[in-house]
Amino acid sequence: MSEISAFRHVTIGQYLPYGSLVHRFDPRAKLVMFTLLVATVTFADSYTASLLLLAVLLGITHLSRVPLRYALQGLRPALPWIAIFATLQLLFYKGQAGGQECQILWSWGFIDITTCSVRLVALMVPRLLEFMILISLLTLTTSTTELTHGLERLLSPLKRLRFPAHELALVFTIALRFAPTFAQELEKIMKAQASRGADFGEQGRLRFIQRTRNTLPLMVPLFLSALRRAEDLSLAMEARGYTGGQGRTSFIQLKAAPQDCVAVAVVCCFSAFILLHDFTALDELVVGTLGNLTRVAFSCVGH
Amino acid sequence: MRNIVQVQDLHHTYLPGTPFEAVSLRGVDMEVAEREIAAIIGPTGSGKSTLIQHFNALIRPQMGKVIIDGQDLSDGNLDVRALRRDVGMVFQTPEQQLFEQYVGDDIAFGPRNSGFDATEVRRRVRKAMEMVGLGFEEFKDRLTFSLSGGEMRKVAIAGVLALEPKILILDEPTCGLDPGTSRELLCRIRELHDNQGVTIILVSHNMEDVAQLADRIYVLVDGQTVLDGTPRQIFSQPQSLRDYSLDVPQATQVMHGLRSRGREVRGDILTVCEAEEEICRCFGFAEGGGTGVT
Amino acid sequence: MIRIENLHHTYNIGQPNAVVALRGIDLLIREGEYVVIIGRNGSGKSTLARHLNALLLPTEGDVWINNINTKDAQHVREIRHTVGMVFQVPDNQLVATVVEEDVAFGPENMGLPHAELRERVDEALLLVGMTPYRTRPPHMLSAGQKQRVAIAGIMAMRPRCLVLDEATAMLDPRGRREVLDTVRELHGNGVTVLTITHFMSEAVEGNRVIVMDQGRTAMDGPPREIFSQTEKLRDLGLDLPPVTQLAQRLHQRHPAFSGSLLTVDEIVEGLCRFPQPVEVVA
């Protein structure tokens, strides 16, 4: 609990200012590339594509100078669950996958490991890794300021359709600005209530309603504080001449450089290739090779 | 009088082993005798908050010892609940922690958590409210958030007093209050100490308040106790106070100013009255409103 | 510069929970003044302040800022560019995630071109001495520093008048000193300053003190003049700063000693003009 006090030493948003090529891309370009790659990862459905994507993303990570370990640390708490889920899928999945007949590779009682379940798991794991890398790459190489401004600029053409791009960006900025402040305040309130004998540790034994009541001493003051801050802040904004998004200029300037356009174009082509090309032939090659390798490994182990 | 609070060579580091590591306390020593009023003063970031949070086990000692009423707070079997009944903590702007709809309920939160029965809770709430100057019948059914800022602060303090602590810790009790309410609050703290024998530990920036109330002052700078003594001892050292950029009561500043001009006046003056007497004594001014030298 | 005529303000007017905050204020504030408004809680100080930049409109009477009436909806922007306001809680005035972006917020609202935005932000940060902190996030600053950033945010709009609504109430002594020093410097550069405070010791900063009581102006004059009226101040629930209390007591003991002194230095100087008697009367 006391560790949150040192929060004031921690920067929000995990931005690591390494100044690499990836860092220097225009945030709009990064957002577009991010979206394209997320879509590609989601819909890629072959072993080869999966491997290609993984290789490319690892390459970009290297370019960004972000340590891979750091990029993947978000997965760490979920690892045991992923392992369990993957194992269950491998052993019990009885459905279709990959457009071809499922062949049973190994059987024991009601456990069936089929080519389909193997395919499912073999595609799921790299996909998770890839998502994690993409999100980390975006947030570790782009400051929150850049992200909100980039998002606002990208969405501003939609203003013509009454889409509140400016308001959304402002909401995000204010939320990010106050997140650490609320964390500090939550900590202070927890300590104050704990000092009066409130218990925030015990769970399990208490029934649901009891547990919800227990959070009132935290939630009510925090909520009220949020309302108070909102009122004060809107008054201050009014005093500084804020009357909405019309007529505002921007301190942060985003300039698209040639390298941004090139990067986006490259990613477009790559995504198109991954999604449209037929990889079945290559897949069979990969599967065949792996199959032989596995048989060899088992026979060695057998001896 | 035995020491009810003992701090020996206390160290504390936030987030040790991470890139955000920050040393907060570097070997603090402190003793508070039973029924004493002790004050901790120091600039922001000196570790005052960290120090006082050790006293009711919100933070456990990483290195060094903290002993409260004979109990070592490094003990794994410490009954934290009981400790928090004996050591009451009032944080800065405590009115921000109020959550119950009715005043009486919020003040009763502490005693209820301690498991007292309804009669006992009621007795405690009544006593606590009287101590802060909120009439029981008048205020117990008022809506908490309809009160003024000063009244809400009193409610928050009553909420801690209802635990009937032996030691009361107050972090900047008069912060944000206007002078009239400030003075009233400090009077009541004084009364609490005099009538109930409660040990008081005050963290404050207000030097005039500290000079008047405290029996002993600890000056904390950069995680260490750099000065400690009675108010007279502390405030009669203008150089040290300047080094640590601490505020000095205005009356004391006048005396120091005179001394630096070579006038032979006492430097350990704390109040306007004392300054008046000493200056008149020294400069030969008349006694009590006369027209010339007697 | 600011003209107030017969200003009345009632909160929730016409409703059962109506509260009369201001009962007929007449005031004239000239350019370059440093006015300190003091009063008990509930005397109407903050309400008065909020009329100066049209955050509140009078329920009766008029407020003119540089001859523009605050009720004139077309010119509200201009009024807010002329009169800037800093509030009590430093945290609740900062909008952006980075200091220099927050300072730019006001000028951005004014629709200024980018080069000028840059110039104003740099200038404002320099004025308050916060240039080294330009890329820091607000939650890593002390309260005094945050308040100075808030002041920079207002000064970037280049207002002619700065209103501080209890801006030092939540600060520690160092923070308070920092803010007061900054404001003193701004006043030296020609900004009209209006401070609302309940710290009597801050009243000596100004060249004019207005004491408010129950929605009316009870006293109005230079600090020395106001502080010499101890009785009246006590009736209004206000105390003199310790320095002035001491000076007045000494004056009573020895009329040759002036009772209307405001600072520690003045008392020391005043006393040092008296020779120290060789023999002290027992």
Q: Is the pLDDT confidence value at C281 over 60?
A: no
- Residue B290: list chain C partners with CB under 8 A: 253
* B258/B224 same-domain check: no
On the 0-12 / 13-18 / 19+ scale of CB atoms within 10 A, B78 is middle
Closest to B199 (Cα-Cα) out of B30, B58, B39: B39
Among B145-159, C99-113, C254-268, the minimum mean pLDDT is found in C254-268
Of residues A1, A6, A196, nearest to B15 (C-beta) = A6
Among A2-6, B16-20, B47-51, C3-7, the minimum mean pLDDT is found in A2-6
Residues contacting B33, CB < 8 A, separation 6+: B1, B2, B3, B4, B199, B216
Structure-token pair, residue C21: 């905050």
Q: How far is B293 from chain A (nearest CA, A)?
A: 58
Q: Is the pLDDT confidence value at A253 over 60?
A: yes
Mean pLDDT in residue range A228-250: 91
Mean pLDDT in residue range A155-160: 84
Of residues A181, A184, A241, nearest to C80 (C-beta) = A241
- Residue B175: list chain A partners with CB under 8 A: none
* B27/B93 same-domain check: yes
Please give the interface size between A and C, counted as residue pairs whose CB atoms are below 8 Å apart: 103
Closest to A8 (Cα-Cα) out of C115, C138, C81: C138
Taking the mean position of all CA atoms in its chain, how far away is CA A85?
Answer: 20
Mean pLDDT in residue range C200-225: 90
Cα–Cα dist B18/B7, whole Å? 27
- The beta-strand segments (E) located in A65-163 are 104-108, 111-114
Among A39-48, B165-174, C180-189, the minimum mean pLDDT is found in A39-48
**pLDDT at res. A184:** 87
Please give the interface size between A and B, counted as residue pairs whose CB atoms are below 8 Å apart: 73
**pLDDT at res. B79:** 87
* B190/B275 same-domain check: no
Q: Is the pLDDT confidence value at A91 over 90?
A: no
Helix (H, G, I), strand (E, B) or coil at B76: coil
Q: Are C60 and C71 in contact (CB under 8 A)?
A: no
Single-letter code of the amino acid located at C171: L
Q: Do A188 and B160 touch (CB under 8 A)?
A: no
Q: Domain range for residue B263?
A: 249-285
B neighbour chains, 3+ CB pairs within 8 Å: A, C
Residues 227-246 of B with CB under 8 A from A: none
Cα–Cα dist B1/B36, whole Å? 9
Residues contacting C74, CB < 8 A, separation 6+: none
Closest to C103 (Cα-Cα) out of A252, A39, B217: A252
Any A CB within 8 A of C117 CB: yes
Q: In what order do the strands lie in the sheet with B224-229?
A: B87-90, B167-171, B199-203, B37-41, B216-221, B224-229
Residues contacting A34, CB < 8 A, separation 6+: A134, A137, A138
**pLDDT at res. B292:** 42
* B92/B7 same-domain check: yes
Q: Is the pLDDT confidence value at A206 over 60?
A: no
Domain residue spans of chain A: 2-302
In chain A, how long is the greatest CA-to-CA distance?
Answer: 82
Q: Are B208 and C242 in contact (CB under 8 A)?
A: yes
Structure-token pair, residue A236: 């201050």
**pLDDT at res. B99:** 92
Structure-token pair, residue B122: 């009621």
Q: Is the pLDDT confidence value at B104 over 70?
A: yes
Q: Are B226 and B43 in contact (CB under 8 A)?
A: no
Number of structural domains (chain B) is: 2
Any C CB within 8 A of B290 CB: yes
Any A CB within 8 A of B84 CB: yes
Mean pLDDT in residue range A150-157: 87
Mean pLDDT in residue range A70-92: 82
**pLDDT at res. C208:** 94
Q: Is the pLDDT confidence value at A6 over 60?
A: no
Residue A193: closest C-alpha in chain B: B97
Domain-located, residue B216: yes
Cα–Cα dist B145/B152, whole Å? 8
Q: Do A174 and C93 touch (CB under 8 A)?
A: no
* B179/B281 same-domain check: no
More confident call, B213 vs A102: B213
pLDDT-based confidence at residue A267 (cuts at 50, 70, 90): very high
pLDDT-based confidence at residue A4 (cuts at 50, 70, 90): very low
Residues contacting C42, CB < 8 A, separation 6+: C214
Any A CB within 8 A of B55 CB: no
Domain-located, residue B107: no
Cα–Cα dist C199/C239, whole Å? 9
What pLDDT, in 10s, does the model give residues B68-102? Answer: 998 899 888 888 888 999 999 999 999 999 999 99
Q: Do B180 and C40 touch (CB under 8 A)?
A: yes
**pLDDT at res. B129:** 93
Mean pLDDT in residue range A42-53: 87
Q: What is the mean pLDDT of chain B?
A: 88
Q: Is the pLDDT confidence value at B112 over 70?
A: yes
pLDDT-based confidence at residue A3 (cuts at 50, 70, 90): very low
pLDDT-based confidence at residue A11 (cuts at 50, 70, 90): very low
* B51/B68 same-domain check: yes
Single-letter code of the amino acid located at C107: P
Neighbour count for residue C53 (Cβ, 10 Å): 25
Taking the mean position of all CA atoms in its chain, how far away is CA A292?
Answer: 36
* B77/B31 same-domain check: yes
Closest to C48 (Cα-Cα) out of C257, C227, C268, C214: C214
The residue of B14, B20, B40, B44 whose CB has the most chain C CBs within 10 angstroms, and thus the best one to mutate to test that interface, is: B44
Structure-token pair, residue C49: 């302040």
Q: Do A225 and B96 touch (CB under 8 A)?
A: yes
**pLDDT at res. B165:** 94
Residues contacting C47, CB < 8 A, separation 6+: C9, C11, C21, C22, C56, C215
Cα–Cα dist B57/B7, whole Å? 13
Q: Are C221 and C62 in contact (CB under 8 A)?
A: no
**pLDDT at res. A239:** 93
Q: Are C44 and C214 in contact (CB under 8 A)?
A: yes
Q: Is the pLDDT confidence value at C282 over 60?
A: no
- Residue A5: list chain B partners with CB under 8 A: 14, 49-50
Domain-located, residue B143: no
Helix (H, G, I), strand (E, B) or coil at A221: helix
Domain-located, residue B85: yes
Domain-located, residue B113: no
Q: Do B285 and C241 touch (CB under 8 A)?
A: no
**pLDDT at res. B32:** 93
Write the DSSP symbol of residue A281: H
Of residues C80, C87, C94, nearest to A177 (C-beta) = C94
Residues contacting B183, CB < 8 A, separation 6+: none
pLDDT-based confidence at residue C158 (cuts at 50, 70, 90): very high
Closest to C94 (Cα-Cα) out of C147, C130, C132: C147
Q: Domain holding B71: CATH number? A: 3.40.50.300
- Cα dihedral sign for A161, A162, A163, A169? positive
* Residue whose structure tokens are 């006048």: B254
Please state at what angle helix B103-113 crosses helix B149-161, rounded to 10 degrees: 20
Of residues B53, B85, B163, nearest to A2 (C-beta) = B53
Domain-located, residue B222: yes
Q: Do B15 and A197 touch (CB under 8 A)?
A: no
Partners of residue C38 on adjacent β-strands? C197, C211
Interface residue ranges in chain A relative to chain B, Cβ cutoff 8 Å: 1-3, 5-6, 9-10, 185, 188-189, 191-199, 216-217, 220-221, 224-225
A neighbour chains, 3+ CB pairs within 8 Å: B, C
Domain-located, residue B110: no
**pLDDT at res. A136:** 84
Whole-model pTM: value is 0.83
Q: Is the pLDDT confidence value at A5 over 70?
A: no
Single-letter code of the amino acid located at B48: K
Residue C198: closest C-alpha in chain B: B178
Domain-located, residue B22: yes
Any C CB within 8 A of B44 CB: yes
Of all residues in chain B, the percent with pLDDT exceeding 70 is 97
Please state at what angle helix C173-188 crosses helix C143-155, rounded to 10 degrees: 20
Count, residues in chain A: 303
